[in-house]
Amino acid sequence: MIIDLPDTTTSQVAKQLVTVREDGGAVALGRVLTLIISARNGVAEAAIDAANDASREHPMRVIVLTTGEGESRLDAQIRVGGDAGASEVVVLHAYGDAASNEESLVTGLLLPDAPVVAWWPEDAPDNPAQSPLGRIAQRRITDAATASDVREQLAVLGSSHAPGDTDLAWTRLTHWREQLAAVLDQPPYETVTAVEVLGAAASPSTALLAAWLQLSLDVPVQWHFEDPSHWEVGIKSVRLTRASGDILLERPESSVAVLTQPGQPDHELHLPRRTLRECLAEELRRLDPDVLYGRVITEGWEKLGPPETGA
């Protein structure tokens, strides 16, 4: 069900939500968090789709805020039932002066006594924790992959990092980190003496993986950018050098990786590129600060040298 509320106020939207809840029963009482999505019109629907999918694991209220120029006005839309997955979605289109105070637009719509997560699918503020929406959120999710200069964006995120911040470029690395950690947990237990990471220039995950390895192993890490014309954009390979020979984890196509180790046959591993829904659902599983990400985006990034291009 979709309810349109043109030229409205936040108070009227809140009253309509109460009416919907009374008419539809107590289903809304099962919501466990409020997710605020700050997005322009061009990406809002894709973000809503991802949130609706993630809501099957995390029932929530989703507040989508878009702003624009023009005469002061607030248009709203409420989506419940089949149009909202396991969530209830409130879409706010604010224009002119009505868009000047983002915090006041959403405060009256937050679920009482429930955690708040803010998500910028793109165009994140330079300091998410100090932004109007970030100040009311326990967790703040950005996506450096949408920036025009991913290295500059990662530097900005590192300089402004606060507990509770995270980035989907980091979340996309979960399976890579799991595979690499599993390999190093197997004999022979030799020290890694050098690391090489290869990926696309438009992939901040390449840089974050290199920064994580730099922080974790404290050895020289070289990372390279390569033209991804013949493979999927993203991380291409990681090479770990040890005395007995190199370990190579390489993804020649979008869903399969090949693990090569000295004295062992090659192993094919399922390593698909993660969807937006998967990454969002993972981030919503934890509402405490991601301490490791904080160390990687600050300490690891500072220790990591510049990339080599044109590998």
Which tens digit of pLDDT belongs to each residue from 281-308?
999 998 999 999 999 999 999 999 888 7
Share of the chain above pLDDT 90, in %: 78
Query: 190-214, pLDDT tens digit by residue?
Result: 999 999 999 988 899 999 999 999 9
Indicate the helix (H) or strand (E) that contains 36.
strand 33-38
Residue with token string 């020289």: 220
Query: 111-155, pLDDT tens digit by residue?
Result: 999 999 999 999 999 999 999 999 999 999 999 999 989 889 999
Band (41; pLDDT cuts 50, 70, 90): confident
2-5 and 73-79: which strand pairing? antiparallel
Query: 253-276, pLDDT tens digit by residue?
Result: 878 999 999 999 999 999 988 999
Residue with token string 């990471």: 197
Whether the Cβ atoms of residue 284 and residue 35 lie closer than 8 Å to each other: yes
116-119 and 33-38: which strand pairing? parallel
Q: How far apart are CA 165 and CA 247, in angstroms?
A: 32
- In the predicted structure, residue 311 carries a pLDDT above the cut 50: no
What pLDDT is stored for residue 183 in this prediction? 94
- In the predicted structure, residue 27 carries a pLDDT above the cut 60: no
Tokens for 254? 């979008």
Q: How far apart are CA 99 and CA 93, in angstroms?
A: 8
Residues 6+ apart with CB under 8 A from 287: 33, 115, 117, 138, 139
Q: How far apart are CA 235 and CA 257, in angstroms?
A: 11
- In the predicted structure, residue 225 carries a pLDDT above the cut 90: no
Average pLDDT rounded to a whole number, residues 23-40: 77
Tokens for 175? 């399976």
AA letter at 239: R
CA 253 → CA 209, 231, 265, distances in Å?
A: 19, 6, 19
What pLDDT is stored for residue 261 in this prediction? 96
Residue with token string 């709203």: 76
CA 223 → CA 108, 199, 204, 236, 272, distances in Å?
A: 47, 8, 12, 11, 21
Band (252; pLDDT cuts 50, 70, 90): confident
The order of strands in the sheet holding 165-167 is: 2-5, 73-79, 88-95, 60-68, 33-38, 116-119, 139-142, 165-167
Residue with token string 């974790």: 216
Residues 6+ apart with CB under 8 A from 264: none
Residues 6+ apart with CB under 8 A from 241: 192, 193, 194, 195, 196
